[in-house]
Each structure stands twice: as structure tokens, then as C-alpha cells.
Amino acid sequence: MAPKITTALDVMGGDEGAAVALPGAELALARHSDLHFRLYGDEAVVKPLLEFYPRLKAASVFEHCEVAIRMDDKPSQALRRGRGRSSMWQAIEAVKTGAADYAVSAGNTGALMAMATFCLKTAGEVERPAIAGLWPTLKGESVVLDLGATIGATAELLFEFAVMGAAMSRALTGKPRPRVGLLNIGVEEVKGLEQIRDAGRRLREADLGNLDYVGFVEGDDIGKGTVDVVVTEGFTGNIALKTAEGTAKQIAGYLRDGMRRTLLARLGYLLARDAFSRLKTKMDPSRVNGGVFLGLNGIVIKSHGRTDAAGFAAEVGERGTDQPNLLAIELRDRADHLGKAEGERPGSHLVVDAPSGL
């Protein structure tokens, strides 16, 4: 039914590069046989490795790129060194030209943001992009943004993030009016940073038809699933994400130690192991790894810097079926609501083009 989806993959991105990206893509193919890949990387590295993944080899085209962006390249360095020639740039450009539906990279966030913004340009009046992730909660999953693309967002930008996050939530969950909260250090209206209070006022006044702004939420509301969309700027969002991952690992550590301590506890563990394995899946950071770049003229997926093959597969696979299409439609759609809210002609600004080929 769904048209074939092409993923442009920066094979050199991330701490592990091709050693993780290729098996990840192979795994994604095993789950979703209708995927197609464009692989960008150093042929000396990628070509020999690709022989071990015949399924991926058959479902992909490979393009050699001279430059691989390093994890410690500054964004400006990365742009200078890698513009046009790097695997990261080429993957993004494939989205621009329509050769791919979306790009995936585990490369360094700053460089990826700089390149994606430079190549695809921000959409309409959006000033800076955001990275949105799916966060497992007690009620299911919530969209959380920004996870590290834009440090220190203004009120205008937080407003934009709320609108874009709601669009992603609608695309992924089908809820017509997702509940949106602004992350703050208290739920009272007098608390927190001025730009957050200001964004809250704007969201309340705009009273958008396709999102339900419920006010401020705190750090512990994320895991509770109090809202469908949690909005914050990139520094805080990234700290929150990694702190949650760290806490999950910490508790797993306590649990493991506790279970090893006595024979009875070990027996208990054996009897309850189904429950544990379900828990492990829910807590697994590789399942929440990465996120979707929102606010650009095309979809770029940032994969976690320390991802593993399963994490990569989750990225590519989960969002690799028809979700990019839905997402693009939703992002285009939101312009109507925004236009109405601001008393302008629907769709007159903030139009996010669907990636060509959709």
C-alpha cells in the first residue's frame, strides 16, 4: 500500500560509525522489508563491511564521500570541512533533492543542526529547528522537544516548538488536539524563566484549535505522561533526557544487585523474568534514542551519539514506514491553524514543504 520509503543514511556518523549504522539498517530492513537506503560514507570503510549485510546491500545504493564529520568538530568547522563533501551533508542533501524521504545521522548534534539548517533552510518563519523525541511514559509515549538542537530558546521559538511538537504528536498518535505543556520549575504562573512565562501567555491567548495548552509541567510530569507534548529549550531538554536515561540505568543496577544477593531473590527473579524483560524493553534507552528535527524544509533524524544497532534500527524502522509522510502532512497542515490563530490568511506563512517524493 504505502509507497517505498527511501532513507538517506550517514553511515559515518556517531561514535561507532559504520559498525553500528550498517547492522542497524539491516535490522530495520528485517522488520520493514519495504525500506530502501541511500548510504553515504567512506568506501574504504563501508564497502567491505557491507558484504556482511546482503539484505542491506541489495536494498541500497552506496555513495562515496571524502569527508566524515568528527564528533568533536565544531559546527562551523564541520560546515567548512564537510559542506558538499561529507557523508552527513550528502545524506541531508538527498532529502533536499528528493532522492530520499528523510535523512538519518548519529553524528554530532551541533554539526548536524548546522548542516541541516544550512542545506534545507528553516521552514517559513521558524527561526531555529528543534529535535523532538518520543519519551516512554506511564501512559504511553510523549513527544518531548527540544532535546538539544537549540540552546536557550526565546518565547517565540518555544511557541513554535509547541506547535511543531503538537503536529508530530498528531501525526504519530492521531489525537486531534494533543495536550501541550511547557517545562518549568513550578506549575505556578509566577515561576520560572521570563521567556517560558511569555510563551505560556502566547499559547493561552492563541487558543489554537489543534492543540490543548494546559500550562506548565515539571520534570516529573514527563514520565507520568501528564501531557502529550513537553516543550522546552535544547539545553534543559538534553539534560532531562540524559538524566532520565541515567536514572533508568541506575535503578536497573540496583535491581540487578538486589536480585543477586540471596538465593530466594534469584529464584524470585527467575519466576518474574517475563515482567523484568518487559520492564527492560520499556526502560531501554536505545528505544528512545535520537529524535526528529522539526522546523526545516525536510525531515532529518538525529540518532543518539552512543546508540547501538538496535537503537539505530528503532530510529529507522519505527519512523521508516509511513510516518514521515504523516509528519510532513501534519507539519504542512499546522500552518493553517497558525494562520487562523494570528488572523492571517490560512497557510500564508510557516508552510513546511513535504519532502519531495512523498
DSSP strand E in the chain: where?
Answer: 5-10, 35-41, 60-64, 102-105, 130-137, 140-145, 179-183, 212-217, 229-231, 291-294, 299-302
DSSP strand E in 115-252: where?
Answer: 130-137, 140-145, 179-183, 212-217, 229-231
Binding flag, residue 247, a copy of itself (CB under 8 A):
yes
Binding flag, residue 80, a copy of itself (CB under 8 A):
no
| Candidate list 199, 248, 326, 350; residue touching a copy of itself; CB under 8 A | 248
Binding flag, residue 81, a copy of itself (CB under 8 A):
no
Residue 210 neighbours by CB distance under 10 Å: 21
Using the 8-state DSSP alphabet, how is residue 148 labeled?
Answer: S
Nearer to a copy of itself, 58 or 138 (CB): 138
Q: At its nearest, how many Å lie between a copy of itself and the CB of residue 150?
A: 11
Binding flag, residue 201, a copy of itself (CB under 8 A):
no
- Contacts of a copy of itself in 209-238 (CB under 8 A): 218-224, 232, 234-236, 238
Strand partners, 230: 144, 181
Answer whether 147's CB lies under 8 Å from 135's CB: no
Residue 297 neighbours by CB distance under 10 Å: 22
Binding flag, residue 79, a copy of itself (CB under 8 A):
no
Nearer to a copy of itself, 304 or 334 (CB): 304
Q: At its nearest, how many Å lie between a copy of itself and the CB of residue 137?
A: 7
Q: At its nearest, how many Å lie between a copy of itself and the CB of residue 304?
A: 11
Q: How far apart are CA 31 and CA 29, in angstroms?
A: 5
What is 271-325 written as a DSSP string?
HTHHHHHHHHHHH-HHHH--EEEESBSSEEEEPPTT--HHHHHHHHHHTSSSHHH
Nearer to a copy of itself, 188 or 344 (CB): 188
Answer whether 116's CB lies under 8 Å from 291's CB: no
Q: At its nearest, how many Å lie between a copy of itself and the CB of residue 145?
A: 14
Binding flag, residue 160, a copy of itself (CB under 8 A):
no
| Candidate list 66, 140, 251, 342; residue touching a copy of itself; CB under 8 A | 251
Strand partners, 134: 143
The pairing of strands 35-41 and 229-231 is unpaired
| Phi, psi (degrees; rounded to nearest 5) at 208 | -70, 145
Nearer to a copy of itself, 223 or 357 (CB): 223
Q: Count residues binding a copy of itself (CB under 8 A).
A: 67
Q: At its nearest, how many Å lie between a copy of itself and the CB of residue 92?
A: 21
Binding flag, residue 97, a copy of itself (CB under 8 A):
no
Cell numbers describing residue 171: 501525526
| Candidate list 33, 51, 138, 205; residue touching a copy of itself; CB under 8 A | 138
Q: How far apart are CA 244 and CA 55, in angstroms?
A: 35
| Candidate list 246, 342, 344, 348; residue touching a copy of itself; CB under 8 A | 246
Binding flag, residue 192, a copy of itself (CB under 8 A):
yes
Cell numbers describing residue 136: 516512554
Nearer to a copy of itself, 24 or 148 (CB): 148
Q: At its nearest, how many Å lie between a copy of itself and the CB of residue 15?
A: 11
- Contacts of a copy of itself in 266-325 (CB under 8 A): 267-276, 278-279, 282-283
What is the distance, to the nearest Å, from the Cα of residue 349 to the centroid of all Cα atoms in its chain?
Answer: 24
Where on the chain is the footprint of a copy of itself (CB under 8 A)?
71-72, 74, 109-110, 136-138, 148, 151-152, 183, 185-186, 188, 190-193, 218-224, 232, 234-236, 238-251, 253-255, 258-259, 261-262, 264-265, 267-276, 278-279, 282-283
